[in-house]
Each structure stands twice: as structure tokens, then as C-alpha cells.
A and B are shown apart, each in its own frame.
Chain A
Amino acid sequence: MTIAIGFEGSANKLGVGIIRHENGKVDVLSNVRDTYITPPGEGFLPRDTAQHHRDCVLKVLKKALSDANLTPKEIDVICFTKGPGMGAPLTSTAIVARTLSLLWEKPLVGVNHCVGHIEMGREVTGATNPVVLYVSGGNTQVIAYSQNRYRIFGETLDIAIGNCLDRFARILNLSNDPSPGYNIEQYAKKGKQFIPLPYAVKGMDVSFSGILSHIEQIAKERLPTGEITPYDLCFSLQETLFAMLVEITERAMAHVESSEVLIVGGVGCNVRLQEMMEQMAAQRDATVCATDERFCIDNGIMIAHAGLLAYHDGFRTPLEESTCTQRFRTDEVYVSWRD
């Protein structure tokens, strides 16, 4: 039996989770998160986000330990997000992990954030070998597993889909509570007309910054006249962006001959995206696996879980190598725990 604690802080969510692996059984013992929410119209900047993480990490850690009813002595491994993500927030979180590693005399394991999402998604949904659509504020990738690596089949050429949605939410001055994407989803439900937007699929890749500029322009010109509503824009943006994702996911499934799709990352919480993916999957006799907000949205438990999988195979991160990195490709990780 091994117990790991995981620390996640690559964007605006600070998460600490404790997980137990015992004879092939996986148990989530605690999963605590604190989200840095900025006022409407504002995004989160690295400096303030890092400050938020430093301010709340110890409280979140204490709650994670008490929810799990454990003392530090019973933790076997300390896992943390090595990257990718925002520099200062990542480092602020890693510093706590490093300090605990020396105070409690426990080994350290650095984890790739994307691999954390994938492994937690596989564990929670039971998907065996799915094509993975990883969509969040910071990442947009279509991934398939092959020969010990999570290979990136397609990705965004510029910004992540979540970043596109978040920045549009700022234009509309939507609340960032609980997240801008959630509020766009609610607005979209009240949309009455579809406004055509650019559709930017490029082979296996997608591009969002052009669509963002375009919709910002439309909002500026046509909202004041009242001919369209913010609800119409949210609806149209979702339909367009999600259709693009469904297309590149389907293409990967066709190439890889997979009948499972796993959606992970914060944008994966979006029910409309799940619906559209399910429509495509049904046409191919495939299934869609998605997790709920406990695991979709950045969290510490996925870091603990992915870290523990690597730890079981002897993987360790020496203290001197426990730096963080803003760029960390998903396929850089050697997935030793799968065939």
C-alpha cells in the first residue's frame, strides 16, 4: 500500500489531494482546492496568482490531511506539478513540496500536468485506451497512447480553447465565479440565433486567436444595436469551437481505430461539448468518457495519482532537479506503467 500527496498550482487553481494505491485499488482520500477568482473583466496574472497560492496552500494542505484523516508520517510520496503552466505559481507550489520532502524525509516526484489529467481521467472513467481530448485554459491537445508515450495528434496552433473562452467572457464582463467558462455555458443556453464565425481547423490542428478577434469585433459592432445578444454570441462561439474539437477528435479516432473518447481538462466540464462529442461518437459506435468537476478542473489528486504510477516503477525526482518548467510537452514523459 502506498499513499501519495499531490500539489497542483500551474494556473489559478491551488489543489492538494491525497490518494492511496493498494493491490491495484485506487482510493481518493481527499481532494481540496482553492481557486483564485479575479473580478469580472480581468484575467489572472502570474504574480498575483503565485501570491494567492502561497497564501492558501498551507490551509489547503491541512484540510487535505484532516479530510483524509492522516498524519505526515503516513504519507509515502510527495508529488508536485513540474509543468507546464505559469512560472511563479508553479514554483511557489513546488517550493512547498520540496520543503515538506526534506522536513518529512519523503521522496519527491515531479509530474507533467497533462499526464495527470489523462491518468486521472482513465482511472475515474475506466476508459482503457481512449483517444484523449485535453481541453483547458492553458492546453488544447488531441492525444493517443502509443509505445509508452502520450502522443500529440493535434493541438492548438495558438491559444488554448479555454483561453479563448475566458478572454471572450472578459469582453462580455461575465463573472469569473466559479469560472468564466461555466458562465459562458449558462449564457449559451439562452442563445436564440446562430452567428456564423470563422471555422479554423487546419488538418489535425486548430486555431482560436482569429476567431477570438472576429467575435470581439462582432460584439463591439452588433451588441450595442441590440440585433444580437450576448447569449447569441456565447451560443455561437461554443457551437463553432466545439465542432472544431469534435472534428479533430473524430479524425484521430478514425486513424487510430479507437472507439473511446476521454475528455479531460477544465473545458471538459462543459455539458454541450460532451453532448456534441456523444453525437459524433454514436455515429461511430464509440463511447465518450468524461469526469465531473472534481477531476476535470485542475486538482491535486491527479498529480498524486500520476506521480504514484511513476513512483511504483522507480521514478524519483532528485531535489536538485525539482525545478518547474512552463513548457513541458505531454510526449516528453516516458509512460513506463503502461505497455
Chain B
Amino acid sequence: MPALLRKIEIPFPTNRLATIAQRVLNVDKELKTDQVKRSLSVNDDKLEALFECTTARMMRVSVNSFLEMLTMVTRTMDECDTLNA
């Protein structure tokens, strides 16, 4: 039974970019599904990530890992999105 809950909201410039981030990051599943549950959703131009973890350590590990991949996505968007150029 997950003991800890954390919701993270990441604002994006547009709904399009928030949706792209959600689709990209949703591809990789969490490895320890018995200890971590991560769900991503888009609310207007915000990406919402909900983490349910059994321990503080798993929360830290999964959130950190998520943020590393998230920043890879946002940096890619910043430098490579030519459609809005």
C-alpha cells in the first residue's frame, strides 16, 4: 500500500508541448511497480505528475529520475522546436 504521495505540476508554454512531454515520458514504465506508481496527465498547458511510493527513498529516486528525463525533454524542446519558430 503506497504510503507517500507527491504531485508535481510543470507549466509548459502551450498545451501542445505539455502533451508531447506527457506522451514521451509515459513510454518508460517505472521499474519497481510494487514500490512506485507514477501517473502523468495534462491539464491545459500543465503537465501533472503524480507519484505514489512506499518509502521516502523510492520517492526521491523516482522523482529525481523523472526530473532528469523531463529536463532532457524540455531542453530538446527549447533548442529544437522548429514548428513554432
Interface residues of A (CB under 8 A from B): 50-51, 54, 57-58, 61-62, 71-73, 91-92, 95-96, 98-100, 102-105, 319-320, 322-324
Contact = CB atoms under 8 A, between A and B. Distances in A.
A302 B80 CA distance: 23
A295 to B, nearest CB: 26
Interface of B: 20-21, 23-25, 27-29, 68-69, 71-73, 75-77, 79-83
A169 to B, nearest CB: 30
Contact of B82 (A50, A73, A98): A73
A321 to B, nearest CB: 8
Given A62-B79, A103-B81, A91 B28 contact: yes
Contacts of B75: 58
A50 B28 CA distance: 15
23 contacts: A50-B68, A58-B76, A58-B80, A61-B80, A62-B79, A72-B82, A92-B72, A95-B25, A95-B73, A96-B72, A96-B76, A98-B24, A98-B27, A99-B72, A99-B80, A102-B24, A103-B77, A103-B82, A104-B80, A104-B83, A322-B27, A323-B27, A323-B29
Contacts of A96: 72, 76
B72 A100 contact: no
A99 B28 contact: no
Given A98-B27, A102-B24, 15 more contacts: A50-B68, A54-B72, A71-B82, A72-B80, A73-B82, A92-B68, A95-B25, A96-B76, A100-B76, A102-B20, A103-B83, A104-B82, A319-B23, A319-B27, A323-B28
Among the interface residues B21, B72, B79, which one has the most CB atoms of the partner chain A within 10 A? B72
